[in-house]
Copies of this chain bind each other. A is one copy, B any other.
Protein backbone atom coordinates (compact mmCIF):
# COMPACT_ATOMS: atom_id res chain seq x y z
CA UNK A 1 0.00 0.00 0.00
CA UNK A 2 1.17 3.50 -0.71
CA UNK A 3 -0.34 6.95 -0.52
CA UNK A 4 -1.64 9.17 -3.31
CA UNK A 5 -1.14 12.74 -2.20
CA UNK A 6 -1.12 15.98 -4.17
CA UNK A 7 2.39 15.47 -5.59
CA UNK A 8 1.67 11.96 -6.76
CA UNK A 9 -1.55 13.25 -8.26
CA UNK A 10 0.25 15.80 -10.44
CA UNK A 11 2.57 13.22 -11.95
CA UNK A 12 -0.17 10.65 -12.28
CA UNK A 13 -2.51 12.98 -14.16
CA UNK A 14 0.25 13.99 -16.56
CA UNK A 15 1.34 10.41 -17.22
CA UNK A 16 -2.24 9.19 -17.55
CA UNK A 17 -2.87 11.83 -20.19
CA UNK A 18 -0.06 10.24 -22.26
CA UNK A 19 -1.61 6.78 -21.86
CA UNK A 20 -5.06 8.27 -22.47
CA UNK A 21 -4.28 8.69 -26.19
CA UNK A 22 -6.14 11.96 -26.30
CA UNK A 23 -9.17 10.77 -24.34
CA UNK A 24 -10.41 9.76 -20.96
CA UNK A 25 -11.59 13.28 -20.23
CA UNK A 26 -9.85 16.57 -19.65
CA UNK A 27 -6.90 15.93 -17.32
CA UNK A 28 -6.96 19.44 -15.88
CA UNK A 29 -10.52 19.31 -14.55
CA UNK A 30 -10.06 15.83 -13.18
CA UNK A 31 -6.90 16.86 -11.39
CA UNK A 32 -8.57 19.90 -9.83
CA UNK A 33 -11.41 17.78 -8.51
CA UNK A 34 -9.18 15.06 -7.09
CA UNK A 35 -6.82 17.62 -5.54
CA UNK A 36 -9.67 19.35 -3.78
CA UNK A 37 -10.97 16.03 -2.49
CA UNK A 38 -7.52 15.11 -1.15
CA UNK A 39 -7.30 18.52 0.54
CA UNK A 40 -10.77 18.16 2.04
CA UNK A 41 -10.76 14.50 3.00
CA UNK A 42 -7.10 13.43 3.11
CA UNK A 43 -4.84 11.38 0.82
CA UNK A 44 -5.89 8.09 -0.77
CA UNK A 45 -4.51 4.61 -0.09
CA UNK A 46 -3.38 2.79 -3.23
CA UNK A 47 -3.24 -1.00 -2.99
CA UNK A 48 -1.77 -3.47 -5.42
CA UNK A 49 -4.06 -6.33 -6.44
CA UNK A 50 -1.85 -8.73 -4.46
CA UNK A 51 -2.49 -6.83 -1.27
CA UNK A 52 -6.24 -7.49 -1.43
CA UNK A 53 -8.05 -10.60 -0.17
CA UNK A 54 -9.48 -12.84 -2.89
CA UNK A 55 -13.09 -11.87 -2.29
CA UNK A 56 -12.56 -8.15 -1.74
CA UNK A 57 -15.05 -6.40 -4.03
CA UNK A 58 -13.79 -3.60 -6.28
CA UNK A 59 -16.12 -1.19 -8.15
CA UNK A 60 -14.48 1.09 -10.74
CA UNK A 61 -15.72 4.67 -11.17
CA UNK A 62 -15.46 6.82 -14.30
CA UNK A 63 -16.87 9.60 -16.44
CA UNK A 64 -18.83 8.63 -19.56
CA UNK A 65 -19.56 10.95 -22.47
CA UNK A 66 -17.99 13.47 -24.78
CA UNK A 67 -14.90 15.14 -23.26
CA UNK A 68 -15.67 18.19 -25.41
CA UNK A 69 -18.69 18.75 -23.19
CA UNK A 70 -16.81 18.35 -19.94
CA UNK A 71 -14.76 21.43 -20.72
CA UNK A 72 -17.93 23.44 -20.11
CA UNK A 73 -19.97 21.21 -17.81
CA UNK A 74 -18.11 19.90 -14.78
CA UNK A 75 -19.22 16.94 -12.70
CA UNK A 76 -20.28 18.07 -9.22
CA UNK A 77 -18.80 15.14 -7.34
CA UNK A 78 -22.04 13.95 -5.77
CA UNK A 79 -22.75 12.27 -9.11
CA UNK A 80 -19.60 10.14 -8.80
CA UNK A 81 -20.40 9.21 -5.21
CA UNK A 82 -24.04 8.40 -6.12
CA UNK A 83 -23.02 6.05 -8.93
CA UNK A 84 -20.48 4.24 -6.74
CA UNK A 85 -22.82 3.86 -3.77
CA UNK A 86 -25.73 2.76 -6.00
CA UNK A 87 -23.79 -0.25 -7.28
CA UNK A 88 -22.78 -1.24 -3.75
CA UNK A 89 -26.31 -0.85 -2.48
CA UNK A 90 -27.68 -2.88 -5.38
CA UNK A 91 -25.21 -5.71 -4.83
CA UNK A 92 -25.90 -5.60 -1.10
CA UNK A 93 -22.32 -6.45 -0.11
CA UNK A 94 -19.60 -4.16 1.23
CA UNK A 95 -17.38 -2.68 -1.49
CA UNK A 96 -13.71 -2.67 -0.51
CA UNK A 97 -12.22 -0.28 -3.07
CA UNK A 98 -12.53 1.58 -6.34
CA UNK A 99 -10.25 1.61 -9.38
CA UNK A 100 -9.77 3.22 -12.80
CA UNK A 101 -11.55 1.59 -15.67
CA UNK A 102 -9.22 3.34 -18.11
CA UNK A 103 -5.99 5.26 -18.08
CA UNK A 104 -6.78 8.77 -19.22
CA UNK A 105 -6.83 12.32 -18.00
CA UNK A 106 -10.05 12.39 -16.06
CA UNK A 107 -10.70 8.71 -15.70
CA UNK A 108 -7.46 8.04 -13.90
CA UNK A 109 -8.35 10.59 -11.26
CA UNK A 110 -12.14 10.23 -10.92
CA UNK A 111 -11.57 7.15 -8.71
CA UNK A 112 -9.16 9.19 -6.59
CA UNK A 113 -11.89 11.74 -6.01
CA UNK A 114 -14.34 8.97 -5.11
CA UNK A 115 -11.80 7.21 -2.87
CA UNK A 116 -10.91 10.42 -1.00
CA UNK A 117 -14.52 11.47 -0.42
CA UNK A 118 -15.71 8.08 0.74
CA UNK A 119 -12.41 7.09 2.42
CA UNK A 120 -12.16 3.83 0.52
CA UNK A 121 -8.87 2.62 -1.00
CA UNK A 122 -8.03 2.57 -4.69
CA UNK A 123 -6.42 -0.33 -6.56
CA UNK A 124 -3.38 0.03 -8.80
CA UNK A 125 -4.77 -1.37 -12.06
CA UNK A 126 -7.17 -0.54 -14.87
CA UNK A 127 -9.22 -2.27 -17.55
CA UNK A 128 -7.57 -0.90 -20.70
CA UNK A 129 -3.94 0.13 -20.14
CA UNK A 130 -5.01 3.17 -22.18
CA UNK A 131 -8.35 4.87 -22.90
CA UNK A 132 -11.05 3.61 -25.28
CA UNK A 133 -14.33 5.28 -26.23
CA UNK A 134 -16.88 2.55 -25.42
CA UNK A 135 -17.50 0.86 -22.13
CA UNK A 136 -17.44 -2.76 -23.26
CA UNK A 137 -13.82 -2.13 -24.37
CA UNK A 138 -12.15 -3.41 -21.22
CA UNK A 139 -10.12 -6.48 -20.47
CA UNK A 140 -12.96 -7.44 -18.12
CA UNK A 141 -15.04 -8.20 -21.22
CA UNK A 142 -12.36 -10.56 -22.54
CA UNK A 143 -12.58 -12.39 -19.22
CA UNK A 144 -16.39 -12.54 -19.11
CA UNK A 145 -16.90 -10.07 -16.25
CA UNK A 146 -20.22 -8.26 -16.53
CA UNK A 147 -20.41 -4.47 -16.61
CA UNK A 148 -23.61 -4.72 -14.57
CA UNK A 149 -24.93 -3.88 -12.03
CA UNK A 150 -24.11 -0.63 -13.75
CA UNK A 151 -25.01 2.79 -12.31
CA UNK A 152 -24.91 6.20 -13.94
CA UNK A 153 -25.67 9.49 -12.21
CA UNK A 154 -25.93 13.10 -13.27
CA UNK A 155 -25.30 16.31 -11.35
CA UNK A 156 -29.06 16.85 -10.87
CA UNK A 157 -29.51 13.73 -8.73
CA UNK A 158 -30.80 11.27 -11.33
CA UNK A 159 -29.47 7.70 -11.21
CA UNK A 160 -30.01 4.93 -13.76
CA UNK A 161 -29.11 1.34 -12.89
CA UNK A 162 -28.83 -1.57 -15.32
CA UNK A 163 -28.71 -5.35 -15.42
CA UNK A 164 -27.89 -6.38 -18.97
CA UNK A 165 -27.15 -9.58 -20.87
CA UNK A 166 -23.95 -8.19 -22.42
CA UNK A 167 -21.53 -5.32 -21.98
CA UNK A 168 -22.43 -4.08 -25.46
CA UNK A 169 -26.06 -3.67 -24.35
CA UNK A 170 -24.86 -1.67 -21.35
CA UNK A 171 -22.90 0.56 -23.73
CA UNK A 172 -25.97 0.99 -25.96
CA UNK A 173 -28.40 1.93 -23.19
CA UNK A 174 -25.87 4.00 -21.25
CA UNK A 175 -24.80 5.98 -24.31
CA UNK A 176 -28.42 7.07 -24.90
CA UNK A 177 -28.93 8.06 -21.30
CA UNK A 178 -25.57 9.89 -21.31
CA UNK A 179 -26.88 12.03 -24.16
CA UNK A 180 -30.07 12.72 -22.16
CA UNK A 181 -28.00 13.63 -19.11
CA UNK A 182 -26.22 16.33 -21.13
CA UNK A 183 -23.64 14.23 -23.03
CA UNK A 184 -21.86 13.44 -19.76
CA UNK A 185 -22.55 11.13 -16.82
CA UNK A 186 -20.62 9.62 -13.94
CA UNK A 187 -20.64 5.84 -13.85
CA UNK A 188 -19.79 2.84 -11.66
CA UNK A 189 -19.56 -0.62 -13.22
CA UNK A 190 -17.65 -3.89 -13.62
CA UNK A 191 -17.83 -4.89 -9.97
CA UNK A 192 -15.34 -7.72 -9.51
CA UNK A 193 -13.41 -9.46 -6.77
CA UNK A 194 -9.66 -9.06 -6.37
CA UNK A 195 -9.30 -12.70 -7.43
CA UNK A 196 -11.12 -11.98 -10.70
CA UNK A 197 -9.12 -8.82 -11.29
CA UNK A 198 -5.80 -10.64 -10.90
CA UNK A 199 -6.83 -12.49 -14.08
CA UNK A 200 -8.74 -9.78 -15.89
CA UNK A 201 -7.25 -6.37 -15.12
CA UNK A 202 -4.09 -4.66 -16.29
CA UNK A 203 -1.97 -4.28 -13.15
CA UNK A 204 0.16 -1.32 -12.16
CA UNK A 205 -1.36 1.29 -14.49
CA UNK A 206 -1.52 3.98 -11.83
CA UNK A 207 2.13 3.49 -10.91
CA UNK A 208 3.08 3.43 -14.60
CA UNK A 209 1.22 6.68 -15.20
CA UNK A 210 2.91 8.26 -12.20
CA UNK A 211 6.34 7.18 -13.43
CA UNK A 212 5.71 8.57 -16.91
CA UNK A 213 4.53 11.82 -15.37
CA UNK A 214 7.60 12.06 -13.15
CA UNK A 215 9.95 11.58 -16.10
CA UNK A 216 8.16 14.23 -18.14
CA UNK A 217 8.20 16.70 -15.27
CA UNK A 218 11.96 16.24 -14.80
CA UNK A 219 12.62 16.53 -18.52
CA UNK A 220 10.75 19.83 -18.56
CA UNK A 221 12.64 21.19 -15.58
CA UNK A 222 15.96 20.24 -17.11
CA UNK A 223 14.81 21.47 -20.53
CA UNK A 224 15.69 18.06 -21.81
CA UNK A 225 13.91 16.91 -24.95
CA UNK A 226 10.57 16.01 -23.41
CA UNK A 227 9.16 14.20 -26.46
CA UNK A 228 12.13 11.86 -26.65
CA UNK A 229 12.03 11.37 -22.88
CA UNK A 230 8.37 10.37 -23.02
CA UNK A 231 8.97 8.09 -25.98
CA UNK A 232 11.64 6.28 -24.03
CA UNK A 233 9.60 6.11 -20.81
CA UNK A 234 6.62 4.50 -22.54
CA UNK A 235 8.66 2.25 -24.79
CA UNK A 236 7.12 3.80 -27.88
CA UNK A 237 8.03 4.90 -31.40
CA UNK A 238 8.13 8.37 -32.87
CA UNK A 239 6.08 8.10 -36.05
CA UNK A 240 5.54 11.72 -37.12
CA UNK A 241 6.23 15.37 -36.48
CA UNK A 242 4.09 18.05 -38.02
CA UNK A 243 1.78 21.02 -37.85
CA UNK A 244 -1.96 20.53 -37.47
CA UNK A 245 -3.85 21.77 -40.52
CA UNK A 246 -7.53 21.02 -40.71
CA UNK A 247 -9.55 19.53 -37.83
CA UNK A 248 -12.96 18.10 -38.63
CA UNK A 249 -15.17 17.46 -35.63
CA UNK A 250 -18.66 16.24 -34.93
CA UNK A 251 -20.41 15.35 -31.69
CA UNK A 252 -22.29 12.23 -32.66
CA UNK A 253 -24.39 9.98 -30.38
CA UNK A 254 -22.55 11.38 -27.35
CA UNK A 255 -19.09 10.91 -28.85
CA UNK A 256 -16.55 13.48 -29.96
CA UNK A 257 -15.62 12.16 -33.40
CA UNK A 258 -13.43 13.55 -36.13
CA UNK A 259 -10.16 13.69 -38.01
CA UNK A 260 -7.12 15.93 -37.78
CA UNK A 261 -4.88 16.44 -40.80
CA UNK A 262 -1.24 17.09 -39.95
CA UNK A 263 1.42 18.36 -42.36
CA UNK A 264 4.87 16.88 -41.84
CA UNK A 265 7.80 18.94 -40.59
CA UNK A 266 11.57 18.27 -40.62
CA UNK A 267 12.24 14.74 -41.86
CA UNK A 268 8.48 14.30 -42.39
CA UNK A 269 8.16 17.30 -44.69
CA UNK A 270 5.90 16.61 -47.66
CA UNK A 271 4.03 13.83 -45.82
CA UNK A 272 0.52 14.15 -44.46
CA UNK A 273 -0.84 12.31 -41.44
CA UNK A 274 -4.57 11.77 -40.93
CA UNK A 275 -5.39 11.21 -37.28
CA UNK A 276 -8.86 9.70 -36.68
CA UNK A 277 -10.49 9.95 -33.28
CA UNK A 278 -13.61 9.00 -31.35
CA UNK A 279 -12.99 10.49 -27.89
CA UNK A 280 -9.55 8.84 -28.21
CA UNK A 281 -6.99 8.86 -31.05
CA UNK A 282 -7.75 5.62 -32.87
CA UNK A 283 -5.76 5.44 -36.09
CA UNK A 284 -3.01 7.22 -38.00
CA UNK A 285 -2.74 7.12 -41.78
CA UNK A 286 0.33 8.57 -43.45
CA UNK A 287 -0.26 9.58 -47.06
CA UNK A 288 -3.41 7.49 -47.03
CA UNK A 289 -1.86 4.30 -45.65
CA UNK A 290 -2.68 2.94 -42.19
CA UNK A 291 0.45 3.01 -40.04
CA UNK A 292 -0.84 2.67 -36.48
CA UNK A 293 -4.31 1.56 -35.36
CA UNK A 294 -6.16 0.53 -32.25
CA UNK A 295 -5.51 -1.21 -29.97
CA UNK A 296 -2.00 0.30 -30.08
CA UNK A 297 -1.74 3.73 -28.47
CA UNK A 298 -1.26 7.06 -30.21
CA UNK A 299 0.00 9.92 -28.06
CA UNK A 300 -0.10 13.38 -29.61
CA UNK A 301 2.43 15.60 -27.82
CA UNK A 302 3.28 19.27 -28.01
CA UNK A 303 6.59 19.16 -29.85
CA UNK A 304 8.27 21.58 -27.43
CA UNK A 305 6.82 20.76 -24.02
CA UNK A 306 5.78 17.12 -24.45
CA UNK A 307 2.32 18.05 -23.12
CA UNK A 308 -0.19 15.42 -24.28
CA UNK A 309 -2.93 16.94 -26.44
CA UNK A 310 -6.47 15.61 -25.99
CA UNK A 311 -8.74 15.09 -28.97
CA UNK A 312 -10.86 18.08 -27.97
CA UNK A 313 -7.77 20.33 -27.75
CA UNK A 314 -6.50 19.62 -31.29
CA UNK A 315 -6.26 22.99 -33.08
CA UNK A 316 -4.95 24.42 -36.31
CA UNK A 317 -1.32 25.43 -36.06
CA UNK A 318 -0.24 23.23 -33.13
CA UNK A 319 3.14 21.62 -33.72
CA UNK A 320 2.98 18.05 -32.56
CA UNK A 321 4.99 14.86 -32.29
CA UNK A 322 3.10 11.59 -32.54
CA UNK A 323 4.26 8.61 -30.53
CA UNK A 324 2.93 5.09 -31.06
CA UNK A 325 2.97 2.78 -28.04
CA UNK A 326 2.41 -0.98 -27.99
CA UNK A 327 -0.88 -1.87 -26.28
CA UNK A 328 -1.31 -4.35 -23.43
CA UNK A 329 -0.75 -7.92 -24.65
CA UNK A 330 -4.33 -8.96 -23.74
CA UNK A 331 -5.68 -6.78 -26.58
CA UNK A 332 -3.73 -8.69 -29.18
CA UNK A 333 -5.67 -11.91 -28.62
CA UNK A 334 -8.41 -12.72 -31.18
CA UNK A 335 -11.08 -11.89 -28.56
CA UNK A 336 -9.29 -8.63 -27.73
CA UNK A 337 -9.04 -7.57 -31.37
CA UNK A 338 -12.70 -8.42 -31.90
CA UNK A 339 -13.58 -5.88 -29.19
CA UNK A 340 -11.13 -3.07 -29.99
CA UNK A 341 -9.39 -3.91 -33.26
CA UNK A 342 -9.49 -1.62 -36.33
CA UNK A 343 -12.42 -3.59 -37.78
CA UNK A 344 -14.72 -2.72 -34.87
CA UNK A 345 -14.25 0.98 -35.62
CA UNK A 346 -14.83 0.51 -39.33
CA UNK A 347 -11.22 0.83 -40.53
CA UNK A 348 -10.62 -1.52 -43.41
CA UNK A 349 -7.19 -2.73 -42.43
CA UNK A 350 -5.64 -5.62 -40.53
CA UNK A 351 -4.12 -4.88 -37.16
CA UNK A 352 -0.32 -4.83 -37.35
CA UNK A 353 1.44 -4.41 -34.00
CA UNK A 354 3.34 -1.17 -33.93
CA UNK A 355 6.64 -2.95 -33.18
CA UNK A 356 6.33 -4.98 -36.38
CA UNK A 357 6.13 -1.79 -38.42
CA UNK A 358 8.50 0.47 -36.56
CA UNK A 359 11.13 -1.45 -34.58
CA UNK A 360 13.26 -2.03 -37.67
CA UNK A 361 13.07 1.58 -38.70
CA UNK A 362 13.85 2.75 -35.22
CA UNK A 363 16.99 0.66 -35.17
CA UNK A 364 18.03 2.22 -38.47
CA UNK A 365 17.50 5.68 -37.06
CA UNK A 366 19.54 5.15 -33.90
Contacts and interface: CB of A to CB of B under 8 A. Distances in A.
Interface stretch (A106-114, A159-167, A353-361): A159-167
A158 interface: yes
Contacts of A160: 160-163, 173
Contact of A163 (B158, B163, B177): B158
A44 B163 CA distance: 30
How many copies of this protein are present in the complex?
A: 2
A245 to B, nearest CB: 37
A364 interface: no
Given A177-B173, A177-B176, A157 B161 contact: no
B157 A165 contact: yes
A90 to B, nearest CB: 8
A172 B181 CA distance: 9
Interface string A218-240: 00000000000000000000000
Nearest to A153: B163
- The size class of the interface chain A forms with chain B is 20 to 34
Contacts of A179: 176
A157 B166 CA distance: 10
Interface in A140-176: 156-165, 169, 172-173, 176
Contacts of A163: 86, 158-161
Nearest to A164: B158
Contact of A165 (B90, B158, B161, B177): B158
A180 interface: yes
A60 to B, nearest CB: 19
A164 B160 CA distance: 8
A366 B160 CA distance: 55
Contact of A162 (B158, B165, B169, B176): B158
A141 to B, nearest CB: 16
Nearest to A175: B180
Contacts of A173: 158, 160, 177, 180-181
A69 to B, nearest CB: 17
Contacts of A169: 156, 158
Contacts of A156: 165, 169
Nearest to A159: B163
Interface in A289-306: none
Contacts of A181: 173
Interface in A88-103: 90
A161 B162 CA distance: 6
Contact of A159 (B162, B176, B180): B162
A169 to B, nearest CB: 5
A187 to B, nearest CB: 14
A176 B162 CA distance: 14
19 contacts: A90-B90, A156-B165, A156-B169, A157-B165, A158-B163, A158-B164, A159-B163, A159-B164, A160-B160, A160-B163, A161-B161, A161-B162, A172-B180, A173-B177, A173-B181, A176-B176, A176-B177, A176-B179, A176-B180
Closest 4 A/B residue pairs (Cβ) = A176-B176, A161-B161, A159-B163, A157-B165
Given A158-B163, A158-B165, A161-B161, 10 more contacts: A156-B169, A158-B162, A158-B173, A159-B163, A160-B160, A172-B180, A173-B177, A173-B181, A176-B179, A176-B180
Interface of A: 86, 90, 156-165, 169, 172-173, 176-177, 179-181
